[in-house]
Structures are given as structure tokens and as C-alpha cells.
A and B are shown apart, each in its own frame.
Chain A
Amino acid sequence: MAIRAVLGSYLKGLQVTIVELAQVVKPKRLGGGAATVQYPHEKEAPPIRARGVIALREENCTVCMLCVRSCPDWCIYIEGHKELAPPRRAGGAPRKVNALDRFDIDFALCMYCGICVEVCPFDALFWSPEYEYSEPRIADLLHDVDRLGEWMETVPEAPALEVGADKKGKK
């Protein structure tokens, strides 16, 4: 009967919510609990590949400027100068190398796209899943060389790949 269908649908709606209520009230050891995580007190761990912050390995950077050119937002600022390094073997000519003066990434502009990490030919940039670096002043979101170097400690190992993948994963 139509009335039975109507009442049935109303009761079903009530049932869904009360079942959810019972699920949340159940203690954690029985599998209950809410779906949310109370943030400052408990934190979820982001996956390995999560794009949290960019870390810089300064010794690998050769100031090739590829990352600067490929950033869609132009948020990387690099300054370098050429200097003379001692020759590789005695009696040779001194080599011209690039030295890094300034490497800033402005995380207020960064789109977290990963193009800079991808194009770097010398593996100087890495992704790290750290995300808790918010600042009260927007100017503090410009991370300089030292700060970017500090993030290197938080860069995880690349995860193993699935069955059927051809080559080992990147970084």
C-alpha cells in the first residue's frame, strides 16, 4: 500500500541516522568512533608521496634555472654567480662553476604542482609530506636556502611500486 511505502521510507531514513549515532557512540576498541580526527590532539599521517613542502639539496644545485623557468607561478627566486673552482687534475685550467647565492621558494604563490621537482636534472628538489608550516605573516612563507635544506630531513623514501610496474619508482 502506498501508506506503507511512505511510512517505510520515513522509518528507513530514521534508521540510517540512528545506526550512525550508535556507531559513533560505540567505544573505539569495538570498532566505533567518529570519522573525524580531533586535529591538534591527534594527527593523521599523510601518504608518502603527499606534496607537503619542497626540500632542497643544496650541493646538487647547479643554478641551471630550469625550475625557475618551468614554475607556472614563477615562485622560485634564484641568484647565483660564476666562480672559478680548482681544476680537476693538476696542471689543468680552472673550471667555471655556478655558485648558489639565493634560492627562495615563495610558498604563498606555490601551486604544489611539482613541475620544478620533476624537471630538475640534478635531483636537487624533493617532495616532503610535511604540512604544518603555516605562518601568521605572509612574508614568512618565503622559505630560503637554509629552511629548504631543513626540510630534507623529512623527505621519505619512495614507496615500492605495484606488481606489473616496469621500472623502479622515481625519487
Chain B
Amino acid sequence: MSLLAVSIPYWGQSLLRVLGGTVAILLPAGTIVYLFLFKMMSFMQSRLGPMDAGPYGSLQLVAEVGKWMQKEDLAPNGADKRIFRMAPLVVLVSTFLLVVVVPFGPDAYFTNFDGGVFYMLAVSSVSTLGILVAGWSSANKYSLLGGLRAAGQLIAYELPMVLAVVGVVIQAGTMNLQQIVWRQNSDHAAMFGWTGLGNPYLFTQIIGFVVFMIAVQAELTQVPFDMPIAESELVSGYMTEYSGFRFLIFFIAEFATVGVFTMIASVLFLGGWGVPFAWFGWKTTGPGLFDGVANWMNIAGPIILFVKMTVLSFLAMWVRFSYPRLREDQLQRFAWKVLIPVSLLNIMATAILKVVF
């Protein structure tokens, strides 16, 4: 890592990566839970939310984590115990697998391989397996219904997500996420010849952005697509029988995935960790894409990405607290009949315009 003057041995780097990964998961999850779930939802509902644990309730998360962790580890009588215990971990693992490809700075990334986008889309469906398995192994009819609904919904909404991202890939010409960031922010990135703002794909891929955000909302089973959880019918869907530490893992996984998906959305559409090079006069010379970029971007990059993630998850949460939920056949219809044709049109338009310009 060129930021630090000392060279860190391999085991040190691995340790830093593990810590970094944990922070990259827990910090967005914690922020989203406190800021949006506790405070924003409460303010929208004309109340103040938790105020007693710490000033303005800031330590409520600590209290919640402590509460969940000290609960009894229950499993229902007829449940398939081994799979019941494994299911939350599968969901959490998919979040960790996703965050591996997200770039945080010019040199701050976990891995940087060329099939980044492809890998990300493939790995995001691992959580579907965890949810299905949780629903089945709970030996509870409500959980089973939740799991079945989740299977249908999550698989259906994979497609619009993939197709929305394809538009970005066509425009960027690469599947490597660092290169996508470079293309949006570099000194070559221009919108109609003006490099003032770089070229965030938000403007050209606005349809793709909207489809992606809707698909993400559905992948995270948030209202209006929260049929698998459906609190007023299925009590908690596939999570009904889980309590204590395992529920905490589901909870963290849910909000961490919100964070990670919105991080990916900001990488794909908002320019990721970068700011337009034109603001600082950095130039791209030589083989390394980010050689001209200052080293302090390794510290500022994660912060910028965090801010962009917060803005996008504010949008997702705002929608979550404002609408009722769609029935599962309605949401399937919406995915297949509306989102997929729209995203296919987007791909066609992008491809045509890419060839023309």
C-alpha cells in the first residue's frame, strides 16, 4: 500500500483486510440502522425514537446488540437443526462476498479483478439460498410461506438488476469496478466536452439507475417489496423462528446489504469513491489508472463513498417508510412486465448511442 511508508508483511495486510472488511460491513449497517431506522423513521412518524440510551439514543445500537446476544439460542422442535443454524450465516457471507469487490480508494480495495461486475451479480444471489433454507428449516408454516415468496421474488428481481448494470458496462466498456470509477471521474471523463462534473453515469443511465434502485429495494425485501417478511401476515416471514444471536445476524446482514448495494450503486452510477479529477487537476499518465491521484484519496475515498451511500440509502429508506406493500403476484408482474422490458430498452439505447457517439 503506497500510502504508508513502511511495508507491511503479508499477515499484517491480511489482518488489515479482515478488520477493514468488518468495518466496511458494520459501519454502514450501524449508520443505516441508527440514522434511518431509528431516527428518520421516527421523525417521519412524528415521534423521537430511542432517546434514553446515550445522548439522543446514539448508544441504542449497543444496547440492542447486547440484548440480542444475551438471549437464549432457541431452535424449534421439528426444525432441521443444522441447516437452521447455518442459514443466517449464509446470508451474512453473501454480504461479505459482495463487499470484497467494492473499491474504496485508488489503492484501498480488497480485490480488483476484471470480472468485478459479473462476480458481484453472481454472488448477490447467495443470500437467496440462505433465505429459502431459513424458511424451510424453521418447521413453521408461516416461515415456509415467507421462504417461498422470497425465492420467487429474489430470483425474479435478479434480472432487472443484471440488465440495468449491463447498460453501465456497455457505456464504460469494462466490468472492472475500479475502471468504472476511473471512467466516471478521470480527466478524460466529460459530459458533452465539459469535465467539470466528470461523467457520472447517473445522467446518461438514469433509467438504469431507477431500475437498479427498484431492483435493489426488492432484493433487500424492503417495502414495497417485502412480501417475504410481510410483518402483518407472516409475523416475520423466514425470520420468525430466529431469536437471539441468529436474529442479530439476519438483522445485521439485512442492513449491511442495504449499505453494500447502495455502495455498489454509487460506484456504478455516482462515481464511487472519486471526485472529478478536474477539480484537483490530476492527470492520468502511465499504466496505473490512478497514479496521478493524490495519496490522501485513500483516506478521503472511503468517506466520500460513505456519504454517497448514505444519500442513496436515504432514498431507499424513504420509500420504505412511505408505501404499503405489493402482493407477490403484483410484484412479479411488475418485475417481468415492466422492469425487464424497460431495462432491455435501456440496453438497446445505450448500445446504439455508444456506437453513434
Contacts and interface: CB of A to CB of B under 8 A. Distances in A.
Instruction: Decide if A and B touch, CB cutoff 8 A.
Output: yes
B290 to A, nearest CB: 38
A36 B48 contact: yes
Interface in B7-61: 40, 42-48, 51
A17 to B, nearest CB: 4
Contacts of A24: 43-44, 46-48
B51 A35 contact: no
A13 interface: yes
A15 to B, nearest CB: 9
Interface in A29-60: 34-36, 38
B321 interface: yes
A34 B47 contact: yes
Contacts of A36: 46-48
B111 interface: no
A14 B319 contact: yes
Given A14-B318, A17-B318, A18-B318, A35 B323 contact: no
B315 to A, nearest CB: 9
A14 B316 CA distance: 11
Nearest to B319: A14
B323 A34 contact: no
Nearest to B324: A13
A23 interface: yes
A10 B223 CA distance: 13
Contact of B46 (A10, A13, A18, A34): A34
A13 B43 contact: no
A16 interface: yes
Contacts of B40: 21
A113 interface: no
Interface residues of B, number: 14
Contact of B321 (A17, A23, A34, A38): A17
Nearest to A16: B322
A34 B318 contact: no
A34 B48 contact: yes
Contacts of A23: 46
Q: State the majority secondary structure of interface residues on B.
A: helix
A150 interface: no
A115 interface: no
Given A13-B322, A13-B323, A20 B44 contact: yes
Contacts of B48: 24, 34, 36, 38
A16 to B, nearest CB: 7
Contacts of A14: 318-319, 322
Contacts of B318: 14, 17-18
Nearest to A10: B323
A10 B323 CA distance: 8
Interface in A53-105: none
A20 B43 contact: yes
A25 interface: yes
A56 B321 CA distance: 50
Interface in B264-322: 318-319, 321-322
A38 B323 CA distance: 28
Nearest to B49: A34
Contacts of B319: 14
Nearest to B47: A36
A125 B44 CA distance: 45
Nearest to A33: B48
A23 B42 CA distance: 12
B46 A17 contact: no
A10 B334 CA distance: 15
A20 B322 contact: no
Contacts of A17: 44, 318, 321-322
Interface string B104-122: 0000000000000000000
Interface string B174-195: 0000000000000000000000
B322 A21 contact: no
Interface of A: 10, 13-14, 16-18, 20-21, 23-25, 34-36, 38
24 contacts: A13-B322, A14-B318, A14-B319, A16-B322, A17-B44, A17-B318, A17-B322, A20-B45, A20-B46, A21-B40, A21-B43, A21-B44, A23-B46, A24-B43, A24-B44, A24-B47, A34-B42, A34-B43, A34-B47, A35-B46, A35-B47, A36-B46, A36-B47, A38-B51
Given A20-B43, A24-B44, A24-B47, 14 more contacts: A13-B323, A14-B318, A16-B322, A17-B322, A18-B44, A18-B318, A21-B44, A23-B46, A24-B46, A34-B42, A34-B46, A34-B48, A35-B47, A36-B46
Closest 5 CB pairs of A and B: A24-B43, A35-B46, A17-B44, A36-B47, A21-B43
